[in-house]
Structure 1
Amino acid sequence: MLIDLIRGPLSRLTLHAVVHRISTLLILLVTFLVIARVARHVLVARQRPRNLRRYGLSRSNLEDQYDPKYDKAEHDSASESMVIKALYVHPIKSCAPIEVKRALLTKIGFAYDRCFAIAVENDEKHWQFISQRTKPRMALIKQELWLPHKTSDPGDPLVQAGGCLVASFPDPDAPVWTKRLQAVFESWSLSGMPEVRFTVPLLPTAAQIDELGIKLRDFQIHSRTASGLDLECIPDVAAALPKLKRFLKVPERQTLTLLRCTPDTLVPTNKNLAPLKYIGTPAMHGYTDQQPVHIINLPSVHATSPLLPKENQPLSALRFRANMYIFGAPAYDEETWKRFRILPKAATTERRAPVAPALSVVCRTSRCTMPNVNPDTGHFEEENAPPEKKKGKPQPSTTLVEYRTVENGNPAALGYLGMHCVPEDSGFKQAMDQGADLYVEVGDEIEVLETGHHLYGSTGNDY
């Protein structure tokens, strides 16, 4: 009987009526999609800083990083050109990186790299930076750089500050339905979740510092004392810090803040020093752990990956948080380099000094626990646990200790992968003489100038 009841009305529908109803549904669906897309555009546009242009790539040059074409075994001949595959900066130390096509090389490394740090006040009323070593969810704090352009309004405070950094992270609080709907529109995905966003001037001007009452604060980066502008009094930062504290699971008793290094708070590097006859003046840095520039050779990552347990393969090069990723050299060949220069080979229409900057390579990068953090999930990773244990060994650090402890210069090292470098002054002088900035671009080539032996800590701690 039920079938007859349904079949009756359907049988009376004419072809014209069916087409009409389907057309109406399609029109309603298209209208909804158009409204949703417009709403998304409006929401996203509202979040964009006015008078600034976003700096960075939307599609990664490392999306094919696992391709076997980047395999090049140790001791293979370096017959092909060595090329810069990708460039990254990490404005807030230990947060998600920003990939760029070209990067301005300065005395302290690439512009905007590790110029901010997050710190907590410990029980002794001293401030200490935090990183993924103890707060792995920092990997999920996304960053955007927005910079002025030729038509920017010079009266805009963010233009006066040289641009801004926009940081975002998942909202740790249970979302209300309006925030959830907004997240769906912004991400154009039904799985979109609410985020907390805050905007920070790249370098507040003297007038902005006075107006906001920004003060300098000392804090510790490992064993050294650093200093920077305490930005907690910037309204957007102040509003986000309580949620950031909950997101990172910082104890309630501790205070959290964001700090910014300035030209006056830069310090000389104090270990693994490059020869002054090459670099000209002592190496300086802001909030990097040790040296201004960090490089990773993709074939070295490829050679290390098969050494890991199967469940931890393939090994992502992004776990090593380098500035410059290169290919074309045999695996681990970079560990013999003492000096190299970057040949400006990339095809570009943007202005840059036609200069081949040289860098001194000072030491291997001694690894810590941070490569164990999956940058996509913000979780520490392990190998599968054996039946008699509850947890597996941390990876890739366990493998790096076993196979990549290739020297004994740093007893605390969890293996070695990557190299630390210092830009040489000669390139900056040549660029200044030509009245242009010294940029490095994806596609530029590497030319090794000098090779030799490296031992961490063997070059002294003072110039």
Structure 2
Amino acid sequence: MPHSELHLEVSQVFVYPIKSCRGISLPSARLGDTGFAHDRQFMIVRVMPNGTYNMCTMRDTPRMAWIHTALEVEDGVEILVIQVEGADDFVTIPMFPSAKYLAHCPIIDTKVWAAPVDAYEMPTVCSEYLSEFLGFECKLVYRGPTERPVRGNLPPSSADNAKPIVAYADGQPFLIATEESFEDLNSRLPQLLPSIIRFRPNIVLKGVPRAWAEDDWTKIRIGGTVFHLTSRCPRCRLPNLDLETAVPDEAQPYKTLQGFRRIDPGSKYTPCFGMNAVANAFDGEIAVGDKAEVLSLGEHFYMKPQV
């Protein structure tokens, strides 16, 4: 079937306000300068004995799977609600702190993997709440004033938004996946995964005529927004983590993916699931039910980001 004839639509939309904590399924999400406006704007950092701050993720701190987030509006201001598993109490902060608010927040230096970033330290009440739950001293931080450019695979130099930025995502503003590929993976597993959210996508599409067709997409349109699919997404073992128990499986689904998804010549020994993407717009929204169209196909070669 020619790619222009595919009947694709958005089936799920996710944001993860705090990096590597529980995500939120939304009926629609607003575009921003670093991806979805509500996506990975915050991060938890561990306070180290030498005074530095290390990024925390569910890879090294599985209990982060039990840090839940929700979005509310109070007096016209968007609020991020943070509540840990099993607790009656919670903390709240502005989802988008104002300049006046940030003027009282210290700026610290940390890293997202090897990439240096700065960050605004959020109020002590947030850090104390999370430190008590995680069992070590940590701080909640908000994206700092210095822009962090996307490195590695980029859109064509002639494309709109050819020099994209990210907040605290690992590397790219969006991750796009398909229901059909998730279903194919599930059909190969000894035990079904309950949700594609294990892979932390932002946009999930359905209506693909065959699983893994997205491997060859280079540009798609969702609603009125064009996305450049910059690379396949090599996966770590994070999807092995059961979000309900906060306990990682020793093998699955990584072992199964290793058996048939080591398909990118730029990442020969790592399985791929989903496509990294950059949008050509900073405004508008993506909603469940939006129609999608594949605009172009091509080859992909993953390039590891270099600082």
Whether TM-score is above 0.5 comes out as yes
Q: Give the structure with the larger strand fraction.
A: 2
Which residue does the alignment assign to 2:278? Answer: 422
Give, in whole Å, the separation in 1 of the partners of 2:129 and 2:161.
42
Matched, 1:364 2:279: no
Aligned CA distance change for structure 1 residues 451 and 440 (closer, same or farther; 3 Å): same
**Structure 1-normalised TM-score?**
0.62
Aligned CA distance change for structure 1 residues 283 and 447 (closer, same or farther; 3 Å): same
Give, in whole Å, the separation in 2 of the partners of 1:92 and 1:302.
27
CA contact under 8 A between 1:341 and 1:449: conserved in structure 2? yes
Give, in whole Å, the separation in 1 of the partners of 2:237 and 2:29.
28
Which residue does the alignment assign to 2:55? Answer: 129
**Correspondence for 2:149 among 257, 265, 268:** 268
Give, in whole Å, the separation in 2 of the partners of 1:114 and 1:276.
26
Aligned-pair distance for 1:294? 0.6
Aligned CA distance change for structure 1 residues 135 and 147 (closer, same or farther; 3 Å): same
Unaligned runs of 5+ in 1: 1-74, 153-158, 171-192, 344-355, 383-393, 429-436
Matched, 1:316 2:191: no
Aligned-pair distance for 1:168? 0.5
Q: Which has the larger radius of gyration?
A: 1
CA deviations 1:105-132 (Å, max 9, x no partner) are: 1231111100000011234432111111
Give, in whole Å, the separation in 2 of the partners of 1:77 and 1:209.
47
User: Which stretch shifts more, 437-446 or 89-98?
Assistant: 437-446
Report the aligned-residue RMSD.
2.3
Aligned-pair distance for 1:360? 0.4
Aligned-pair distance for 1:461? 6.1
CA contact under 8 A between 1:301 and 1:315: conserved in structure 2? no
Matched, 1:376 2:244: yes
Matches within 5 A, 1:159-174: 159=76, 162-170=77-85
Aligned CA distance change for structure 1 residues 301 and 265 (closer, same or farther; 3 Å): same
CA contact under 8 A between 1:373 and 1:380: conserved in structure 2? yes
Letter in 2 for 1:450: S
Which residue does the alignment assign to 1:209? Answer: 102
Aligned CA distance change for structure 1 residues 339 and 217 (closer, same or farther; 3 Å): same
Which residue does the alignment assign to 1:283? Answer: 164
**Structure 2-normalised TM-score?**
0.92
Aligned-pair distance for 1:77? 8.9
Aligned-pair distance for 1:242? 3.5
Which residue does the alignment assign to 1:454? Answer: 300
Which residue does the alignment assign to 2:184? Answer: 303
CA contact under 8 A between 2:232 and 2:264: conserved in structure 1? no
Give, in whole Å, the separation in 1 of the partners of 2:3 and 2:277.
24
Larger RCO: Structure 1 or Structure 2 (Cα < 8 Å, ≥ 6 residues apart)? 2
Give, in whole Å, the separation in 1 of the partners of 2:51 and 2:232.
35
Aligned-pair distance for 1:196? 3.8
Identity %: 27
Aligned residues: 306
Give, in whole Å, the separation in 2 of the partners of 1:241 and 1:317.
26
Letter in 1 for 2:53: W
Aligned-pair distance for 1:325? 0.8
Unaligned runs of 5+ in 2: none
CA deviations 1:422-454 (Å, max 9, x no partner) are: 0114xx5xxxxxxxx511111001111110011
Aligned CA distance change for structure 1 residues 80 and 169 (closer, same or farther; 3 Å): same
CA contact under 8 A between 1:200 and 1:236: conserved in structure 2? no
CA contact under 8 A between 1:302 and 1:315: conserved in structure 2? no
Give, in whole Å, the separation in 2 of the partners of 1:320 and 1:412.
18
Aligned CA distance change for structure 1 residues 76 and 367 (closer, same or farther; 3 Å): farther
Letter in 1 for 2:222: I
Which residue does the alignment assign to 2:254? Answer: 397
Give, in whole Å, the separation in 2 of the partners of 1:315 and 1:194.
24
Letter in 2 for 1:396: P
Aligned-pair distance for 1:412? 6.3
